[in-house]
Structures are given as structure tokens and as C-alpha cells.
Structure 1
Amino acid sequence: MMSSIDDPGHGHSPAAWTAVVIMLLAVTLGTVFFWFDMPVLVWASAGLLVVGAIVGWAMAKAGYGAYGDKYKPKQH
């Protein structure tokens, strides 16, 4: 199926990519810290997960989201 003109790109924006990378790092670190029984760092990783969501939201509000004025979708 071809994408339409109104298709936001399924999250292919700087805001989405930044949020996902931060959150993926948080989950990975949290898993490692859980494995090594470091509860304080597990909770710090949970905090980083929240930070990732906030950063993605803030970047989207700043215009770097799929519908933002600073985002230019790539032609495929």
C-alpha cells in the first residue's frame, strides 16, 4: 500500500528517534542493573525512561515532530 500525503511517517522524525534511543538505552541499562542486583541504578534507569518520553514530547512541541515546522520528511 502506498503512503498518502497525510501520512506522518510512522514516527520517522527527530523527536521520535531521540525519544526511542533514550528509552531503549534506559531499558537496556535497567535490565543490566537488574541482572547485577543494583536497585538504585534500576530506579535511575526508570527515571531515564521518563526523561526520554519528556525529551520526545518537548522536541515535538519545538517543531521536530512528524507535523512540526522544522521537520522535513525524506522522499522514498
Structure 2
Amino acid sequence: MSSSGHGHTPAAWTGVIISFIGFCVAGAFIVLANVPGFWAGMALIGLGAVVGGLMRAAGMGQEPKRSAKPLAQAQAQPQES
């Protein structure tokens, strides 16, 4: 796993796989000149984003990174003894 952990979660993998299938469906139906099939593929792309977001909200995504700003401020203030 990389040090940043970017995208190595079930939520990310599921969202990307669903969206990839949507891209394939939309691409195939564009070649076949089938407008409803193309829009079905586009809907799958959106569904991938929604499913990934819901899975992240359910705790299967990456934890948000904490900002380094509060830590830097705490170190800059002198500590009282």
C-alpha cells in the first residue's frame, strides 16, 4: 500500500468499478448509435459516484486527513510549566 493510502478502500474500488462499467456501456452504445443505451451507461457512471459516496459515509472509505495547521499552532505557543 502506498504511504498516502489514496484510493485503497472498498468504497473507492466499488465506485470506480461501477463507473468503469458505465464507461464501457456508454462507449459500446455510442458505437452502436443507441441513444438510450448511451444514457444508461451515463447513469451507471453517476451511480458509481453515489455508491462510492454512500459507502464512504458508512465508514468503508478513507478517514479524512487531519490538518497540520492546529499542530503547528500548538507547537508555536510556549508551554507553561
Normalising by structure 2, what TM-score? 0.73
Q: Comparing both structures, which one devotes a greater share of its residues to helix? A: 2
Q: Distance in 1 between matches of 2:35 and 2:27?
A: 11
Aligned-pair identity in percent equals 38
- May I ask how many residue pairs the two structures share in their alignment? 63
Q: Displacement of 1:25 after TM fit?
A: 0.4
CA RMSD of aligned residues (A): 1.5
Moved over 4 A (4+): none
Q: Displacement of 1:66 after TM fit?
A: 1.2
| Structure 1: unaligned runs, 5 residues or longer | 69-76
Corresponding residue for residue 48 of structure 1: 44
Normalising by structure 1, what TM-score? 0.77
Q: Distance in 2 between matches of 1:66 and 1:35?
A: 37
Greater Rg by CA:
2
Q: Which has the higher contact order (CA 8 A, sep 6+)?
A: 1
